[in-house]
C-alpha cells in the first residue's frame, strides 16, 4: 500500500483552483440579508428578480402562492391593494412588493424607517426582472407607511 503525501504548494494550488472554479453566486450566498418571497410558481419575472437578489448576496427562500391566497397575504402584511404587484418579499421587518431594485432595499435596511416596506406597483418595463434596464420606463419606488399612506422613496428615470 502506497501512501501519498502532498506538499503545501500542491494543497494551495488545489484550494485556489476550487475557489476560482466556484460560481460567484455560491460565494455570495449567506453573505447578505435573508429574504422570503411569496410568488406564483409559474412566474418568470419573479424568478428573474430573485436571481438578481441572489447575485447581489441576498439569501432567498421562496414559497408558492397564487390568486386570493397571495392577495390576502399582501393585504394582511399591510400592503395597500393599489401598491400590489406579482410577488411579495419579507426582509427583516419589512415587506418588499414587486420589482424593487436591490439598491432601494439596501437603503431601506440602512435607514430603518418606521414603515411597512417598499413597493413598485404593477410591473414596469425595465425594473429588475422586467426586461433590460437600458430600455427602462420611468417608475417610482414607494415607501408604505404604517398608516397605509405612501410616499415616493426613489424615482428611476427612463433609460
- Residues 29 and 55: their CA atoms lie apart, in Å, by 8
Tens of pLDDT, residues 7-39: 554 434 434 433 344 444 444 445 689 999 999
The pLDDT > 70 percentage for the chain reads: 81
State the pTM of this model: 0.80
CATH class assigned to 8-156: alpha beta
Name the nearest CA neighbour of 148 among 112, 124, 119, 123. Answer: 119
* Interacting residues of 81 by C-beta distance below 8 A, sequence separation 6+: 71, 74, 75
pLDDT computed for residue 44 by the predictor: 85
Per-residue HEC secondary structure of 70-106 comes to HHHHHHHCCCCHHHCCCCEEEECCEEEEECCCHHHHH
Residue with cell 439569501: 59
Mean pLDDT for the chain overall = 86
Contact status, residue 79 vs residue 120, Cβ threshold 8 Å: no
The predicted pLDDT at position 101 comes to: 98
Residue-wise pLDDT tens digits, 46-70? 899 999 999 999 999 999 998 999 9
Please report which confidence band the pLDDT of residue 128 belongs to, taking 50, 70 and 90 as the band edges.
Answer: very high
Amino acid at each position: 500500500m502506497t501512501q501519498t503525501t502532498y506538499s503545501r504548494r500542491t494543497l494551495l494550488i488545489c484550494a485556489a483552483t476550487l475557489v476560482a472554479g466556484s460560481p460567484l453566486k455560491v460565494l455570495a450566498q449567506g453573505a447578505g440579508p435573508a429574504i422570503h418571497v411569496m410568488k406564483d410558481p409559474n412566474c418568470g419575472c419573479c424568478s428573474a428578480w430573485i436571481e438578481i437578489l441572489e447575485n447581489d448576496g441576498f439569501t432567498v427562500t421562496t414559497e408558492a402562492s397564487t390568486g386570493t391566497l397571495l392577495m390576502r397575504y399582501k393585504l394582511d402584511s399591510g400592503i395597500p391593494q393599489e401598491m400590489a404587484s406579482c410577488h411579495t418579499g419579507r426582509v427583516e421587518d419589512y415587506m418588499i412588493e414587486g420589482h424593487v431594485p436591490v439598491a432601494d432595499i439596501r437603503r431601506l435596511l440602512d435607514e430603518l424607517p418606521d414603515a411597512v416596506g417598499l413597493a413598485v406597483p404593477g410591473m414596469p418595463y425595465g425594473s429588475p426582472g422586467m426586461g433590460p434596464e437600458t430600455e427602462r420606463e420611468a417608475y417610482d419606488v414607494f415607501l408604505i407607511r404604517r398608516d397605509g399612506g405612501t410616499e415616493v422613496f426613489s424615482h428611476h428615470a427612463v433609460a
